[in-house]
Structure 1
Amino acid sequence: MSNLISLNPQRRSEAEQFLNSRIAHPGFRAALLNINRIHATKGFSARGMMFVGDTGVGKTTILKCYRDIYCTENQLETKPKRGKYPIVLTRLNSNSGSRSFLRNLCQKLGVKPPSKETVNDLETRAITLLKKREVELVMVDEFHHLASRDGRKNLDSVGDLLKNLMDLAQVPFVLVGTLKALTVLDGHPELQRRFAASTRLDNLNLSTDEEADKFSKILSACQRNCAVPSVTLSSPAMLERFLLASRGRIGTITNIIETAINFCDMTVGITMDDLAEAFDFCRSEPRYPKCNPFSAPIRVVKTELGRAK
């Protein structure tokens, strides 16, 4: 029976190398600059920014990149156990309220609060830690969870909490999530005033020649970062195939290519058959698209995209 499965399943080193490479969204530089502008408000009248985009578009990658660049260039640790903790990257869970958010923030800053500590005491502790650890910027990922039915019951308390943390610790916040995150501010005018700035990452698309060129550059970067031979990834037809396969999400594109690296015959490299198999393995929506973009004729792909002539 051992011939049916690998007895030592491992991801190929070439796939790990590809995953460790950085594929930058066309809005990468602008997003970094805008985070930097919000970062600059630390210490006096701290401001906030909404940073939104579809799942898999590259938001978390940009957050980590900003933190890594800032800390490396300033010779600071990204997650120091003690002393200055310049940038905190945390996230909301689907049921996050003030208590869980504050406990998570305190733990990020090196202190595990007593389980029975009140919300008011947790808030005081968090403000003290933000000042003591000299935090300059807090980035909160998955903020769109507050837009869910369960999350909205926590909206007022978390909104008031963020306002207090910004005012009393004078630390700017970047709130990150899907487009639903923008609706969170609708019922909270105090947060709207503090988070007047926003940055949006759109999915890759082929709506104009300029957008098609951006898409092509992303796939060309993927090809350069691929340590195995491959069919050309950035041809006009492949742009359409990858668009249908990914809805323009960079994360989905890299997942397909990384999976193809693991599936392919290393003596041959990545073929269209490998991409088709990788797509079937990675797809999260069984009924979309109707065809496999890498095995279907290009006219079928165009038709499903609504680009048939």
Structure 2
Amino acid sequence: MSISPNGINIDEALEELAACTIWYPAYQEAMRLITKSIDSTRDRKDPSSAMLIGPTGVGKTRLCLKLEKQLGPFQTVLRADCEKTIRPCVYVELPESATIKSLSMVMAQILGGNVSDYQSITALETLIIERLITMEVKLVILDDFHHVAQKGLSKTKSSLCNWIIILLNKSGIPFLISGSPTAEATINTVQELSDRFPYRARLQSMPMAEEADTPALLGVLAALQKETIRLGKLKNYIHLTDPTPYKAIYLATQGNFRRLSNLLHDSFRIALLRGDYSLTINDFAEAADDLAFCCSPNHFRMTPNQLNSTLKGQTKRI
């Protein structure tokens, strides 16, 4: 356990900051559409699935995990005639080496099935469908779906699509597929499957305020700053939404949430270790020196004129 000179538990503070999720408009809209897919499935008795599409680092996995938590934990309940296991959500993160067979085995294991390498995909499908229904699953999340979608030839992708169609049609339970645009392109190759995914949420890196009707990045930075002030009991600090630090943060992260999270974590850690209740621009500069995505050039060591010139040059390139 690391304790700062002023008595703050550094590990706990950083962990709490990392767990903080800011529900900016695009996040709220994504959650609304995914929730609507669950409600529509329940009301229509027909699976109306959702997709969460966007590049790496924009918060797709974070949203999937929040959704899994929101739907509720695995539990055992006593019914009038039996003891029943309920699993509201099945979350599967697909590795790069995933195949239809390995994916089927992982899902079956999550659902409590006894699985062996000798079982056929058809046998695993039957087991999965049975468990999805009996365990009253509300949503199946396949995260990083592009790891499977971008592999192999069109025949492999067709088999993957058919596998999902079978699970949807026979279980009646909606899926959430999360991944890059490759995932959406794969789903769209089969019209029957594409029609099963009417709700599609898209996440992108947060733009500069000047580039958007809604200044999402400003709102996120303001909310995160409140957390750092609370957790670090800060008395002196730079305002992250002021023009100079705001521009430096945008240029360093390009509005990518994962990069922003790494940068803020390292900067805040430096400040906590110093233990003087402050957070400075130098903390960000020192953190950026060690982060490959923003160390060259280090925008936190630039003057306001240099930042403006860099932004102007970037706008011209776009």
TM-score range, shorter chain: 0.7 to 0.9
Return closer, same or farther for 1:117/1:296 CA change in 2, 3 Å cut-off: same
Which residue is equivalent to 1:160? 162
Secondary structure of 2:181 counterpart: coil
Is the deviation greater in 243-252 or in 13-22? 13-22
Which residues of 2 match residues 37-116 of structure 1 at below 5 A? 37-42=36-41, 44-71=45-72, 78-80=73-75, 83-116=85-118
Supply the distance in 2 between the matched residues of 1:292 and 1:211 (Cα, whole angstroms): 28
Deviation by residue 1:189-247 (Cα, 9 ceiling, x = unmatched): 22212123211012111263755632211101111011223321111222221111111
Over aligned residues, Cα RMSD in angstroms? 2.4
Q: Does structure 2 conserve the Cα–Cα contact (< 8 Å) formed by 1:105 and 1:126?
A: yes
- TM-score, scaled relative to structure 2: 0.83
* Alpha-carbon distance change, 247 to 112 in structure 1, aligned in 2, over 3 angstroms: farther
CA distance, structure 2, for counterparts of residue 123 and residue 136 of structure 1: 18
Q: CA offset at residue 105 of structure 1? A: 0.7
How many angstroms does 1:271 deviate by? 1.6
Residues 154 and 86 of structure 1: CA distance in aligned 2, closer, same or farther (over 3 Å): same
Q: Which amino acid aligns with 1:70?
A: L
1:30-87 Cα offsets, whole Å, 9 max, x none, are 111111111123352212222112222122222222232332xxxxxx2347611111
Cα shift at 1:266: 1.7
State the secondary structure of the residue aligned to 2:300.
coil
Match of 1:291 among 287, 290, 297: 297
Aligned pair partner of 1:278 in 280, 287, 295: 287
Q: Percent identity?
A: 22
TM-score (norm 1): 0.85
Contact 1:103 1:112 in 2 (8 A): no
The 1-side partners of 2:280 and 2:179 are apart by 35
How has the CA–CA distance of structure 1 residues 182 and 80 changed in structure 2, closer, same or farther, with 3 Å as cutoff? same
**Aligned counterpart for 2:260 among listed residues 253, 260, 263:** 253
1:123 aligns with 2:125: yes
With 175-184 and 136-145 compared, the bigger mean Cα shift is at 175-184
Go from structure 1 to structure 2 and tell me whether the alpha carbon gap of 1:149 and 1:128 turns closer, same or farther (over 3 Å shift).
closer
CA distance 1:305–1:47, change in 2 (3 Å):
same
What is aligned with 1:32?
Answer: 31
Which of 234, 244, 253 matches 2:241?
A: 234
The amino acid that maps onto 2:29 is: A
Moved more, 155-164 or 82-91: 82-91
The corresponding residue for 1:3 is: none
SS at match of 1:41: helix
Shift of residue 161, structure 1, vs aligned partner: 0.8
Gaps of 5+ in 2: 1-8, 77-83
Distance between the aligned counterparts of 1:87 and 1:123, measured in 2?
18
1:134 equivalent in alignment to 2:136: yes
Residue 150 of structure 2 contacts residue 183 of structure 2 at CA under 8 Å; is this kept in 1? no
Is the 1:222–1:254 Cα contact (8 Å) retained in structure 2?
Answer: no
| Distance of 1:203 and 1:158 partners within structure 2 | 29
**1:25 & 1:180 partners in 2: Cα distance?**
25
Q: Distance in 2 between matches of 1:152 and 1:300?
A: 49
**Residues 141 and 176, structure 1, Cα contact 8 Å, conserved in 2:** yes
**Separation of aligned partners in 2, 1:96 and 1:153:** 16
Which residue, 292, 308, 312 being the options, matches 1:306? 312
Give the aligned length: 291
